[in-house]
């Protein structure tokens, strides 16, 4: 279930930010970790 929550967070990030950012795999991994740390 943890992995699915990461995917949902990734989708939210893509919706809030420009889709160009979503294309970067490195950005996804690092930013998602930062988002989970903040929340």
Nearest to 34, CA basis, from 1, 6, 8, 3 = 6
pLDDT at 31: 74
Burial 1-34 (b: 16+ CB within 10 A, else e): eeeeeeeebbeebeeeeeeeebeeeeebeebbee
- Separation of alpha carbons 20 and 36, rounded Å: 21
Q: What is the pLDDT of residue 37?
A: 77
Boundaries of every domain in the chain: 2-38
CA-CA distance, 34 to 10, in Å (whole number)?
12
pLDDT per residue of the chain (39 residues) written in tens, 0 to 9? 466 777 777 666 665 655 555 555 666 677 777 877 776
């Amino acid at each position: 279930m943890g992995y699915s929550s990461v995917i949902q967070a990734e989708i939210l990030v893509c919706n809030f930010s420009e889709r160009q950012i979503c294309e970067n795999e490195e950005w996804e991994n690092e930013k998602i970790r930062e988002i989970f740390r903040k929340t």
